Amino acid sequence: MGEKSSSEVRRLATFLEISQTLSGTINLKQSLHQVLESLERFHGVIRGAVTILDEETSELHIEASNGLSAKGQQVHYQLGEGITGRVVESGKLIVVPQVSREPMFLNRAGRRKATEQDETTFICVPIIVNRKPVGAVGVDLAFKKDRDYDRELKFFGIVASMMAQAIKVHRLIESDRRRLMEENIHLREELRERYDFSSIIGSSGPMKSVYEQVSQVARTNTTVLIRGESGTGKELIAHAIHYNSLRAGKPFIKISCAALPDTLIESELFGYEKGAFTGAQARKKGRFELAEGGSLFLDEIGDLDLQTQVKLLRVMQEREFERLGGTETIKVNVRVIAATNKDLEKAITAASFREDLYYRLNVFAIFVPPLRERKPDILLLADHFLEKFSTEHNKNIKRISTPAIDMLMSYHWPGNVRELENTIERAVLVCEGQVVHGHHLPPTLQTAEASGTTVRMSLEESVAGFEKDLIQDALKSARGNRAKAARLLSTTERIIGYKIGKYAIDCRRFRA
């Protein structure tokens, strides 16, 4: 009774150690090897091996072993081949009480055929995951005539089920890791495509000059200063520079210097140590550290306070800094891309911007033109935003009417591309048909200053204006053909001719 009790204690101790081993690491090969070592120490296993099925090749390979030669660890089995192959194929365990008397025992893994003096018993148990065999655990035990095989099979069956759980968890982790890596690669490629400067909309002369400058500077590590009015797309240019550079695989970190108060901007840029100030419960990395190896985009650099300008200048000169409240000097490898809509030369004169920092930033300047200086791009941008917001708001809007285009082209766009984007989104929201008309555009585009129209019109004038819009739309669809335009409007060519003369519409402009 004492021997049996001791055996049970040993089994429970083995289960405990195996459980701790399998749950203590995500390295499957290492944990399975440690389990086999535990079986050798506590349960008299002479040799052991865990064989795993490769689902792609349908081959079995030894994932972990104990007591096998280096050559034996490299062997492969086909499903149904040998005892191990049959166990995995059938999902049923096999016991070979005396290895020397079993003709199916291949001995490919280096288990030598036993003699009567050192006869061994081989037990092979399937590893089942989701009711499907994924491998097997096979062990050699010293042959004993009075061995209780039922107890042994139950014991190794439990060990195999514990291994199965570990393999299942490992596969889930590996699946998630592969999925995250694929998503990461996909997102990086998506960002690269999205911010490739060839995908930036605009074919006007000023924009071609910007593209040329971006292509010149992108592959270097030079500091870039992007200048231009608010809403011109400076951040888009910064993205294009980063994602077309050698640093594209590293982080692109951005910070708006105008969005944060002076008391916070320093801690955001350089980070802080625990206890540096009230509320600093733990160390925090700043944007410079987060951008290590990549690019840091400093938007609205002209709004940076003088105290922070001094520290930024030091980082750009020495490539090192200390966290707020810390003494450790941190080296950084970061490319700085800055942007501003302010006149920095005037700011230097007014002593609100440091001249030495200006020269550090102004190594390679790119001026992004305002929308009013790139008139040919307005229609391209409008069509792009129309398609974007039509899809986003589930609408089937196909085009912008000619009068509406004229209004877009004649407006001065103080808010630049951002204002145009908002204008088109509003037009898409209020448009109930398939064409954006002038009355769908915001009032700012319909004032006398913006569009050349009168502020107040009589009913007769309003009707005449609407009628003129309809006729111009029909002529555009008919490419200036009066007869076809008349059919589109369900009227006669004579009436259309009269209206064209009345409203002084030039049909030739629609024939191109």
Q: Give the count of beta carbons closer than 10 Å to the beta carbon of residue 239.
A: 23
Q: What is the DSSP letter of 370?
A: P
Residue-wise pLDDT for 113-128, tens only, equals 444 457 888 899 999 9
Between 20 and 351, residue with greater pLDDT: 351
Counting every residue written for the chain, the total comes to: 512
Beta strands in 164-317 (DSSP E): 224-227, 252-256, 295-299
Between 99 and 449, residue with greater pLDDT: 99
Residue 295 pLDDT class (50, 70, 90 cuts): very high
- State residue 313's pLDDT score: 93
Beta strands in 148-241 (DSSP E): 224-227
Residue 191 pLDDT class (50, 70, 90 cuts): low
Residue 1 pLDDT greater than 50, yes or no: no
| Backbone angles phi and psi of 115, in degrees to 5 | -100, 175
Q: CA 164, CA 352: separation in Å to the nearest integer? A: 68
Q: CA 330, CA 319: separation in Å to the nearest integer? A: 8
Interval 361-380 mean pLDDT: 93
Cα–Cα distances in angstroms (integers) from residue 315 to residues 220, 269, 289, 308, in the given order = 19, 11, 12, 11
Q: CA 170, CA 177: separation in Å to the nearest integer? A: 10
- State residue 110's pLDDT score: 59
- State residue 183's pLDDT score: 79
Whether 35 and 21 have beta carbons less than 8 Å apart is answered as: yes
Q: CA 302, CA 160: separation in Å to the nearest integer? A: 66
In the block, residue with structure tokens 């111009």: 472
Paired with 142 in beta bridges are 120
Q: CA 37, CA 65: separation in Å to the nearest integer? A: 9
Whether 265 and 259 have beta carbons less than 8 Å apart is answered as: no
Q: CA 318, CA 338: separation in Å to the nearest integer? A: 18
Interval 402-419 mean pLDDT: 91
Residue 179 pLDDT class (50, 70, 90 cuts): confident
Of 171-175, 317-321, 371-375, 446-450, least confident by mean pLDDT is: 446-450
Q: Which class for 125: exposed (0-12), middle (13-18), buried (19 or more C-beta within 10 A)? A: buried
Interval 156-183 mean pLDDT: 86
Q: Which amino acid is at 281?
A: Q
Residue 101 pLDDT greater than 90, yes or no: no
- State residue 418's pLDDT score: 93
Question: C-alpha 332: how far from its chain's center?
Answer: 24
| Backbone angles phi and psi of 141, in degrees to 5 | -120, 150
- State residue 189's pLDDT score: 66
Q: CA 35, CA 16: separation in Å to the nearest integer? A: 11
Whether 319 and 288 have beta carbons less than 8 Å apart is answered as: no
Q: CA 239, CA 217: separation in Å to the nearest integer? A: 13
Whether 237 and 409 have beta carbons less than 8 Å apart is answered as: no
- State residue 422's pLDDT score: 95
Residue-wise pLDDT for 413-445, tens only, equals 999 999 999 999 999 999 998 999 988 999 888
Cα–Cα distances in angstroms (integers) from residue 260 to residues 11, 153, 278, in the given order = 63, 68, 18
Residue 261 pLDDT greater than 90, yes or no: no
Return all residues near 37 (Cβ < 8 A) that are at least 6 apart. 66
**Sign for the pseudo-dihedral over CA of 269, 274, 278, 279:** positive
Q: Dmax over Cα atoms in the chain, in whole Å?
A: 119
